[in-house]
Chains A and B, each alone.
Chain A
């Protein structure tokens, strides 16, 4: 079992839910990103998602788009993010997931990416523009390296797709709370509950929910049904502010997620 799987299992056995914050690697710079991972862990993060900046982040709203642009201006690349993971890994065992678009991985080489990222100490990857249908190669290399591939489901996903995505996913299944991009407004209706129930019928893998979760109330509501809560844009927005405000905010999320 990977670090991600173990962490989620321990939480599950404890009747607890995972808090999974996202930050953009290299925003404002790589050294600060390493410090921020400490801050996240300090404030109760169970798993950390590290964004890899890309020029055309299709699934992201304005907050993460801007963060990616800042990181790219700093010269941050997939290779430098992998090196950063190795540095972070010297100090902590917290599971780390890379969230990257496909072209940087394609250019880097799928096999080499899995090998370098997993030896650096990353535990898995989310590639929002790569559906499992096209991910045969990446999944094969990842399975060999015990590196998790996490795929996305949306409210529009059909039963057939739920089965396919759940099967291709390792670590957990990522349920996108609404049709839309990161940082959009969450609509807390009954559909999250019924969709997660459907995913659970298709698979025993843990389900984490992301996109649009920003307040502690929303995090608490989502945590009632999901095994993990992913918060991205709302944190990225606060990375530019004071650290004490950021910590306060992170702790309020942690408190809201049982």
Chain B
């Protein structure tokens, strides 16, 4: 608790500090490469034969995913708090890479916790983190995925709290993390709003984003929440199907619970133990979901649906072939939903899909699934 209070205080101070803002803006522009483009996916739109589909190209941000927006923000904050070391959890490895990058940029030490199952399926990102000077610590307890990496990260933070800042990678965990990560990611929606108005002269009809912890979705949605005409869809991972028990669809298959300092929808058994999850995408393979998503769902502001492994893999190939963009398997879940929704809408409708990351990291795994030896 004292660490969370310290963090909240430091974060609030940073928000009213013009120098902090200036540095963050400068890095967004010259280091991350913001604003990322809003791209009209013309061939995909034609192929689906319905709504006009725009892609918010977070895959073009430095390190290849939206995770960098938050990691750089928190790295600057950690330096401001005089912390010597950054730690983080990672599922797909994107947040680990982003945090290792932030640590290299600010000259801080860095340790990344990653489940052994995720290390096996995301070996490219493991090597990237090491190249960036981070230590990757294997977590082989529990389900050996993201949830357990967060457990270990929080245990480390509890132990080394005086010198270490824990860079939570998503809109989850105890306050102030969900708020802080949302704020750092909300640049996505702020840019997209300006860009779509420039391109189409109006707000979009739909926003679609995948939801693991929910940071890319919250980043896109947040600035549009006040625009009631904009409908929003969050896409969870249905894994092998929501009725198989092997999925990560918390809204479809979970109930309210408390995990890792957060009250939200949770996949749990009748005794309150957390259930195992499955998704082809490591970044969505998580038993709970950011609490603000739970709020938006219960309020009816955002609709949450799901795409299964097979649909995500199809979307992965669809976008690669139609647009020459290989999406991350996480983002492919959002593309899968767009492929279902767009044909049902008129050609005058506009959809923005958050292309949260690029798929280079997933190429080996997809080849493996398809039985192709590289």
Chain A interface residues toward B at CB < 8 A: 54-56, 58-59, 61-62, 65, 69, 72, 77-79, 102-108, 129, 131, 133, 154, 156-158, 161, 178-181, 184
> Does any Cβ of A come within 8 Å of B261's Cβ?
yes
Q: Which residues of B are in contact with A by a Cβ distance under 8 Å? A: 1-3, 5, 141-142, 147-148, 151, 154-155, 158-162, 257-261, 266, 268, 270-274
Measured between C-beta atoms, what is the minimum distance from B275 to chain A in Å?
A: 8
Q: Which of A129, A157, A178 has the most CB of B within 10 A?
A: A129
Give 6 A-B pairs besides A54-B273, A156-B2, A179-B161 with Cβ atoms closer than 8 angstroms: A55-B142, A56-B142, A69-B141, A103-B257, A161-B1, A161-B2
Between B5, B158, B272, the greatest number of chain A beta carbons within 10 A of the residue's beta carbon is seen for B272
Q: What are the residues of chain A within 8 A of B147 when measuring CB–CB?
A: 56
Closest-CB distance, B192 to chain A (whole angstroms): 35
Selected contact of B271 from candidates A104, A154, A157, A158, CB within 8 Å = A104
* Cβ contact within 8 Å between A58 and B151: yes
- Shortest distance from the beta carbon of A198 to any chain B beta carbon, whole Å: 13
Question: In the assembled complex, which residues on chain B have CB atoms less than 8 Å from the CB atom of A55?
Answer: 142, 273-274
- Interface of chain B, helix or strand or loop or mixed? mixed
- Cβ of A106: which chain B residues have Cβ within 8 Å of it? 257-258, 272
CA separation between A184 and B159, bound complex, in Å? 9
Q: Are A104 and B3 in contact (CB under 8 A)?
A: no
B159 touches A156 (CB 8 A): no
For this complex, 12 residue pairs linking A to B, each with C-beta atoms less than 8 Å apart, are A58-B260, A69-B141, A77-B273, A107-B272, A129-B261, A133-B1, A157-B1, A157-B2, A178-B159, A179-B158, A180-B155, A181-B158
Q: Which residue of B lies closest to A176 (CB)?
A: B158
- Find out whether the CB atom of B159 lies under 8 angstroms from the CB atom of A179: yes
Q: How far is the CB of A199 from chain B (nearest CB, A)?
A: 15
- The residue in chain B whose Cβ has the minimal distance to the Cβ of A132 is B1
With contact pairs A131-B1, A156-B2 given, residues A58 and B273 touching in the complex (Cβ less than 8 Å): no
Pair B271/A77 contact, Cβ less than 8 Å: yes
| Cα–Cα, bound, A161→B1 (Å) | 9
Q: Is the CB of A181 within 8 A of B159?
A: yes
Is the Cβ of A181 less than 8 Å from the Cβ of B155? Answer: yes
A69 / chain B contacts, CB cutoff of 8 Å: 141
A62 to chain B, nearest CB (A): 8
Contacting residues, chain A, for B141 (C-beta < 8 A): 62, 65, 69
Interface centre among A55, A77, A108, A154 (most CB of B within 10 A): A55
Say which residue of B162, B268, B274 sits within 8 Å of A179 (CB atoms): B162
> B162 touching A104 by the CB < 8 A rule?
no
A108 to chain B, nearest CB (A): 7
Q: Looking at the assembled complex, report how far the CB atom of B263 sits from the nearest CB atom of chain A, in whole angstroms.
A: 8
Query: Chain B residues with Cβ under 8 A from A62's Cβ?
Result: 141
**Chain B: CB-nearest residue to A66:** B141
In angstroms, Cα B274 to Cα A33, docked, is 24
A79 vs B271: C-alpha distance when bound (angstroms): 8
